[in-house]
Amino acid sequence: MDLKFTDDEPSAAERAAVDDFLGPATSGWSGGDRTATDLRWAQGGHEVRAERHLLLEVVHAVNDRVGWISPGALNYIGIRLGVPPADIYSVVTFYSLFSTKPRPSRVVHVCTDIACEARGSRDVCRDLEQEYGPAGAAQGWLQSPCLGLCERAPAALAIEAGNPPTEQVLAPVTAAEVSSTLRSGAPDLDTEPPSVMAVPQAGDEDLVQLRRVGRVDPESLDDYRAHGGYEALRTAFALGPAGVNREVVDSKLLGRGGAAFPTGRKWQSTAAQLEKPHYLICNADESEPGTFKDRVILEGDPYALIESMTIAAYASGATHGYIYLRGEYPRARRLLVNGLEEARRRGYLGENILGHGFSFDIEIRRGAGAYICGEETAIFNSIEGYRGEPRSKPPFPVEKGLFAKPTVVNNVETLVNVLPILTMGGPAYAKIGTEQSTGPKLFCVSGNVASPGIYEAPFGITLGELIEMAGGLPRGQSSLRAVLLGGAAGGFVRANEIDIPLTFEGTRQADTTLGSGVVLVFDDTVDVPRILLRIASFFRDESCGQCVPCRVGTVRQEEALHRITANGNDPEAYAANLELLRDVGQVMEDASICGLGQTAWGAIESAIDRLGTFSETK
């Protein structure tokens, strides 16, 4: 790798963005600086890498202000952080929200993922293509994977670079609205409907996780306290760290991020590690297509997450926490920034919290449009300023995680469960739901239902009951074709399988998965092969490329699906392509490093085997 700088210099705006974030440079931009930095790299060592963890945030700062990352900006960031520009280039090009080619300052990302596909995004894109040409940065609009706004599908996100930048959700969106945004700018963030709109049950007294959403002012710590906020933290301090862990173990809480790992065991193992410091990461990346539950908590009850993280840190011995937040959640970020500042100011974060001798603080780290960065070890690399590629396990995060220190990673929904666990007690919490899947669960219901949204229900509700809660199918005439459980990494079930109980064990028994709680409903108007092609292109796009089975397999899978859909009724060609799909799918499942490759074939396999998709081709 060439460690030398090119002669490209940063523009005034780029330099200001970096300096505003890192503080003023102590020496100017000169050849001397560059030589000195080249030398530091050649010598290597910890000091050189010490500031690298700021890389993603600095790149965001430039991108926010200018809209793309020029060679001059790469050079200047390199000088300031002591990171080779080639290395920064490899990081920047990893994330879809960044560009190393000039982009107009205003870009609209139009979601073409599965929930939006089921609700008309194709028509929006067709109209935009007619007006502006094929999607591309130069045209001002881009096609995007799921934006976490599936209940308001079809969705779009407008981003306008500037100081400050503006980001605006447009959902449900029409081509005319995208056009008017491209011409005259996005409306103000405050015009966005509140997150309570995504919670059709809002106000229901029996809710546990969602009880404050829509009732509490998400900007006010006092209002949070008036609605029972910070009672659980006081209980935690009275119980002590081991007591909190005991309650969480007794609650039998399983992680809600998709892997269903026992949370109490994770916290206890981390607490037992002698190596210090310990870190806590809240996984708020939420990029599984069809998932938007974490967004609703982050926007509707942000202090609940801050309090829960404080308790999790207390129990696991962590002194520093990160919220790894989806780059596409501007409102959640604004509310969290406000919440963290306020909690710090009022003694709920920082040194000696509420006088109990426990110190802990939280930083936000913004993702930048990479699904793989939701994988827990990919988050470590992303926060540390490297490409967000997963690490091999073992070592497991509880032993060697962020900065090679013991680390707890938990999903947003998992974390906020600690509040009812502590207020009602672990054993009482364990009585909600079923023996093996305890507590309330948030389900992300989208697609062809009358009232898409987040629904809270105890584990054990059947799929049919949940669809009924969401108002059933919207059009009287259409009938249920299939349901995708667990998102792109999940699997399809048939219309006659709606008695499946929604629990980890029930879905496993039915040979499918609950994943993170995606319930994407398709009526008989939906073109299933098209959905499968979208899923295949999603995995091809999002594979980090690190391991061969996934890097090559996701490409071959998509190609074979294209051939099947193009070849119509040729049974021989179908058989050959199906055999290839099965072979490639098996290799991806068996030999990929991480869950992305391991699950990339699951939904497609389930559509072929369970729904009989393409059966007319046989």
Residues that bind ligand FES (CB under 6 A): 111, 113-116, 146-150, 153, 155, 289
Closest CB to ligand FES among residues 149, 550: 149
360: which strand partners? 350
Minimum Å gap between C-beta 579 and ligand FES is: 31
Query: Which option in ligand FMN, ligand FES, ligand SF4, none does residue 422 bind, with CB closer than 5 to 8 A by kind?
Result: none
Out of 596, 604, 607, 608, point to the residue binding ligand SF4 (CB under 6 A).
Answer: 596
Burial (CB < 10 A; 0-12, 13-18, 19+), residue 181, is buried
Minimum Å gap between C-beta 392 and ligand FMN is: 13
Q: Per CB under 6 A, does 543 bind ligand SF4?
A: yes
Query: Which option in ligand FES, ligand SF4, ligand FMN, none does residue 597 bind, with CB closer than 5 to 8 A by kind?
Result: ligand SF4
Q: Per CB under 6 A, does 546 bind ligand SF4?
A: yes
131: which strand partners? none
Task: Give, to the nearest 10 degrees, the angle between helix 12-22 and helix 55-66.
Answer: 140
Closest CB to ligand SF4 among residues 81, 584: 584
Out of 236, 305, 353, 372, point to the residue binding ligand SF4 (CB under 6 A).
Answer: 372
Contact set with ligand FMN (CB under 6 A)? 255-259, 261, 283, 285-288, 372, 374-376, 409-411, 414, 594-596
Q: Per CB under 6 A, does 593 bind ligand SF4?
A: yes
Task: Evaluate whether 452 touches 446 at the Cβ level (below 8 Å).
Answer: yes
Going by the DSSP 8-state scheme, the letter that residue 166 receives in this structure is E
Contacts of 267-274 spanning 24+ positions with Cβ under 8 A: 267/312, 267/315, 267/316, 267/408, 269/398, 270/316, 270/317, 270/318, 270/398, 270/406, 270/407, 270/408, 271/241, 271/242, 271/245, 271/315, 271/316, 271/317, 273/317, 273/398, 273/399, 273/406
Q: Per CB under 6 A, does 287 bind ligand SF4?
A: no
Closest CB to ligand FMN among residues 67, 433: 433
Q: Mask 597-616, x = binds ligand SF4 (CB under 6 A)?
A: x-------------------
Closest CB to ligand SF4 among residues 327, 553: 553
**Residue 283 is inside which H or E element, if any?**
strand 278-284
Query: Which option in ligand FES, ligand SF4, ligand FMN, none does residue 411 bind, with CB closer than 5 to 8 A by kind?
Result: ligand FMN
Query: Which option in ligand SF4, ligand FMN, ligand FES, none does residue 410 bind, with CB closer than 5 to 8 A by kind?
Result: ligand FMN
Using the rule CB under 6 A, give the single segment among 91-99, 299-307, 508-516, 593-601 that binds ligand SF4. Answer: 593-601
Closest of 418, 421, 420 to residue 410, by C-alpha: 418
User: Within a 10 A sphere around the Cβ of 91, how many other Cβ atoms?
Assistant: 24
529 vs 520: CA distance, rounded Å: 16
Closest of 377, 443, 415, 435 to residue 263, by C-alpha: 415
Query: Which option in ligand FMN, ligand SF4, ligand FES, none does residue 544 bind, with CB closer than 5 to 8 A by kind?
Result: ligand SF4
Out of 594, 603, 604, 607, point to the residue binding ligand SF4 (CB under 6 A).
Answer: 594
User: Within a 10 A sphere around the Cβ of 159, how many other Cβ atoms?
Assistant: 24
Closest CB to ligand FMN among residues 173, 550: 550
Query: Which option in ligand FMN, ligand FES, ligand SF4, none does residue 547 bind, with CB closer than 5 to 8 A by kind?
Result: ligand SF4
Closest CB to ligand FES among residues 18, 118: 118
Query: Which option in ligand FES, ligand SF4, ligand FMN, none does residue 551 bind, with CB closer than 5 to 8 A by kind?
Result: ligand SF4
Query: Which option in ligand FES, ligand SF4, ligand FMN, none does residue 546 bind, with CB closer than 5 to 8 A by kind?
Result: ligand SF4
Burial (CB < 10 A; 0-12, 13-18, 19+), residue 26, is exposed
Unique residue bearing structure tokens 């173990």: 249
Out of 49, 215, 246, 551, point to the residue binding ligand SF4 (CB under 6 A).
Answer: 551
Query: Tokens for 485?
Result: 């459980």
Minimum Å gap between C-beta 596 and ligand SF4 is: 4
Query: Which option in ligand FES, ligand FMN, ligand SF4, none does residue 309 bind, with CB closer than 5 to 8 A by kind?
Result: none
Closest of 290, 283, 369, 372 to residue 550, by C-alpha: 372
DSSP string across 296-318: HHHHH-HHHHHHHHHHHHHHHTE
Q: Per CB under 6 A, does 282 bind ligand SF4?
A: no
507 vs 503: CA distance, rounded Å: 6
Query: Which option in ligand FMN, ligand SF4, ligand FES, none does residue 545 bind, with CB closer than 5 to 8 A by kind?
Result: ligand SF4
Closest of 465, 464, 430, 468 to residue 449, by C-alpha: 468
Start-end of H helices in 93-174: 114-117, 121-132
Based on its alpha-carbon atoms, the radius of gyration of the chain, rounded to whole angstroms, reads 24
Query: Which option in ligand FES, ligand FMN, ligand SF4, none does residue 258 bind, with CB closer than 5 to 8 A by kind?
Result: ligand FMN
597 vs 14: CA distance, rounded Å: 37
Residues that bind ligand SF4 (CB under 6 A): 372, 390, 543-547, 550-551, 592-594, 596-597
